[in-house]
Amino acid sequence: MTATHDTVPFAEAIAAFDPVLGLETHVELGTASKMFCGCPTMFGGAANTHVCPVCLGLPGSLPVVNRTAVESTIRMGLALNCRIAEWCRFARKNYFYPDMPKDYQVSQYDEPLCFDGYLDVTVETPDGPREFRVEIERVHMEEDTGKLTHAGGATGRIHGADYSLVDYNRAGIPLIEIVTKPIVGAGALAPQVARAYVTELRDLMRALGVSDVRMEEGSLRCDVNVSLSRPGEPWGTRSETKNVNSLRSVERAVLSEIERQAAVLRDGGRVIQETRHFHEDTGRSTPGRSKEQAEDYRYFPEPDLVPVAPPRDWVEQLRATLPEPPAARRARLRAEWGISDHEFQTLVNAGALDLVEQTIAAGVDSAAARKWWTGELARTANDRGVELAALGVTPQHIKRLEELVGAGSLSDSLARQVLEGIIAGEGDVDEVVTSRGLAVVSDDAALLEAIDAALAEQPDVADKIRGGKVQAAGAIVGAVMKATRGQADAAKVRALLLERLGVSE
């Protein structure tokens, strides 16, 4: 039984112990069909509709490897600087669970398709950016399981449930698993290194086009291994925190596990090798099953599949298709845009690089493109807890907004209202402008009418202006802007007002 320990504050924990991390990341590949059959991989759909005898594991059915999944895995391996196996096999991982149609998972065991690579990641420190090399142990392919829903019971877990439902739509979706070698020497930066690594993996997969990594749909899942040891001593026992499903959670899971293990060790306790479950709401984990009675998966080579032996010339052709690595691309963009590290990091943190680059490519001025994406839009995305690209605003929208602002038919504040409309799903820029009636009032007669009305309401202010107190014009301009619901150009109103009253600046 695990004693209940408190946690040790992070700074204190890191002062006493060195953390070692290991990250296993599962990502759904963006192939059109499943790993071993022709069923579609699209998310959603009524339960058990994207299934066939193969992904249901019906007696007699046989798997056939999806070539695109192999190709995607090799490209990912190459991008992670891995060696690509000349010959490797799938293996069966045997265990009984109702979400597995065959009661074994087709995976890879001691013969991964890609191995021995690395990924360089950068973390921000008070002393400026610092680079870490994360070594990659292996990249392999496997099939996903079905999805269980537990009805009744308090916890939504299988134990205590009244009954459980299985949806096999997810069964057989191709997964890529990327396993790091132990990450040592990160010290206090360990949580950030973990987050930066997973972020970098995500960006790499998107750049490669092998997955669009829809984290909100659970298409990236991370298992976080953490151990602590006192400096100079052998590595400690590790725990494995399962299914950490967001970038923020990766960082928090590492941090909270360091704090927890430090408390156990400080009190003279022993860290138990176990699986832990991370809770997004509390940012803490609770113990799952102990690995001390570890399941024996009885791996053996999958006899229903022939070995995967990618010809070397194919591998080289795939290498030639690799896009610019994200780190190199960032260096290039920062130089091209001529901005500070800090400003650039703001763009990176906002997930705005692609969007800004595309907006500039669409013909928008670089500073304006950055302003739109990192300002209002980044704030909205952050408030809603979604990714910037998920807001529904496109580089084309920004281009059109900039055209209208440049032509004087939209003010900045009107442009922000247009964006609100787009995010609310009201259509594109011109549709929102029309439906919300957001065009700048540039009709002089209409403006003069509003000015006259405002002057009539505030005769004392009118007199002050006539008397030379030009700064009092603000009150009239404000009233006109209010009357036109912000759709007038304030500078123009002011000019018209002064002209009307026959005064000059």
Partner 1 sequence: MGLIGADLVRQDAATLARAMAEGEVSSEEVTRAHLDRIGEVDDRVHAFLQLLSTEALDAARDIDRRRAAGEQLGPLAGVPIAVKDVLTMTGVPTTCGSRVLEGWRPPYDSTVVERLRAGGLVILGKTNMDEFAMGSSTEHSAYGPTHNPWDLERIPGGSGGGSAAALAAFEAPLAIGTDTGGSIRQPAAVTGTVGVKPTYGGVSRYGLVALASSLDQAGPCARTVKDTALLHAAIAGHDPRDSTSIQAPVPDVVAAADEADVRGMRIGLVRELRGEGYQAGVSQRFDEAVAILTDLGAEVVEVSCPHFEYALAAYYLILPSEASSNLARFDGMRYGLRMGDDGARSVEEVMSLTREAGFGAEVKRRIMIGTYALSSGYYDAYYGSAQKVRTLITRDFEAAFAQVDVLVSPTAPTTAFRIGDKVDDPLAMYLNDIATIPVNLAGNAAMSLPVGLAPEDGLPVGLQIMAPPMADDRLYRVGAALEAALVDRWGHLLIEEVPAL
Chain contacts with partner 1 (rule: CB under 8 A):
53, 56-65, 92, 94, 96, 98, 101-104, 158-159, 162-164, 166, 296, 298-300, 303-306
Of 281 and 296, the one with the shorter C-beta distance to partner 1 is 296
Q: Give me the least distance between CB of 316 and partner 1, in Å please.
A: 25
Q: Closest CB to partner 1 among 17 and 109?
A: 109
3-state SS of 51-88 is CCCCCCCCCCCCCCCCHHHHHHHHHHHHHCCCEECCCE
Output the CA torsion 28→31→35→40 (10° steps).
100
Q: Are 66 and 54 in contact (CB under 8 A)?
A: no
Nearer to partner 1, 113 or 447 (CB): 113
Q: Assign residue 360 a region (left: φ > 0; alpha: ψ between -120 and 50; beta: otherwise).
A: alpha
| CA distances for 67 relative to 35, 70, 301, angstroms | 9, 5, 19
Q: What is the 3-state secondary structure (H, E, C) of 102-153?
A: CCEEEECCCCCCEEEEEEEEEEEECCEEEEEEEEEEEEEEEECCCEEEEECC
> CA-CA distance, 183 to 170, in Å (whole number)?
32
36 vs 115, which CB is nearer to partner 1? 36
Distance CA 246, CA 118 (A): 22
Length of the chain: 505
Phi, psi of 147 (to 5 degrees): -120, 130
- Closer to partner 1 at the Cβ: 146 or 351? 146
Instruction: Tell me the CB-side half-sphere exposure of residue 126, using CA atoms within 13 A.
Output: 1
| 57/326 with CB nearer partner 1 | 57
Closest CB to partner 1 among 65 and 348? 65
Q: How far is the CB of 429 from partner 1 (least distance, A)?
A: 49
**Closer to partner 1 by Cβ: residue 97 or 314:** 97
Minimum Å gap between C-beta 168 and partner 1 is 9
Identify which of residues 306 and 446 has a Cβ nearer to partner 1 in the complex: 306
Q: How far is the CB of 227 from partner 1 (least distance, A)?
A: 22
Strands 239-244 and 83-84: unpaired
429 DSSP 8-state letter: H
Minimum distance from residue 298 beta carbon to partner 1 (Å): 4
Q: Nearer Cβ to partner 1, position 159 or 342?
A: 159
In the complex, least distance from residue 407 CB atom to partner 1, rounded to whole angstroms: 59
Nearest approach, Cβ of residue 354 and partner 1 (Å)? 38
Q: Which of 336, 346, 352 is nearest to 394 (CA)?
A: 352
Closest CB 210 distance from partner 1, rounded Å: 23
Nearest Cα neighbor of 107 from 30, 179, 177, 201 is 177
Burial code (b: 16+ CB inside 10 Å, e: under 16) for 474-489 equals: ebbbebbbebbeebbb
Distance CA 368, CA 350 (A): 16
Nearer to partner 1, 233 or 304 (CB): 304
Question: To the nearest whole angstrom, how small is the minimum distance from the Cβ of residue 142 to partner 1?
Answer: 16
Largest CA distance in the chain: 97
**Distance of closest approach, residue 75 Cβ to partner 1, in angstroms:** 22
* Least distance (Å) between residue 47 CB and partner 1: 14
- For the chain, the straight-line distance linking the first and the last C-alpha, in angstroms and rounded, comes to 82
Q: Tokens 């990714």 belong to which residue?
A: 387
Q: How does DSSP classify residue 235? A: P
